């Protein structure tokens, strides 16, 4: 009876340990996906800004009777700022 009880406890502990490992792996995957989702959201915002400014530039160029095409806006970031954000 005691051996049977010990065997049940050990098997339950191993099941809990494997479940805990699975949960930790899922949490790590979730953190990585959240980081990627944040980067994609930022990229999406930047593209929206570029398109919006491009459409405005095309419209003003057409109203002025100037060139048929307008150059898209280039997004420029400060590398020093990126290093500071990553380091903090």
Distance CA 50, CA 42 (A): 12
Distance CA 14, CA 18 (A): 6
Report whether 59 contacts 70 (CB < 8 A): no
Q: What is the DSSP string of 45-80?
A: HHHHHHHHHHHHHHHHHHHHT--S--PPPPP---HH
Output the pTM of the full model. 0.57
Tell me what percent of the residues of the chain surpass a pLDDT of 90.
23
Report whether 71 contacts 56 (CB < 8 A): no
Structural domain boundaries in the chain: 2-87
Chain segment 21-46, per-residue pLDDT in tens: 999 999 999 999 999 999 999 889 88
């Amino acid at each position: 009876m005691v051996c049977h009880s010990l065997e049940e406890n050990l098997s339950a502990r191993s099941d809990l340990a494997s479940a805990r490992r699975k949960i930790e792996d899922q949490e790590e995957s979730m953190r990585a996906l959240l980081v990627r989702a944040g980067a994609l959201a930022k990229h999406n915002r930047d593209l929206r800004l570029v398109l919006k400014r491009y459409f405005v530039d095309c419209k003003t160029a057409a109203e002025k009777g100037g060139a048929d095409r307008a150059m898209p806006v280039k997004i420029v970031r400060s590398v020093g700022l990126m290093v500071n954000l990553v380091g903090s």
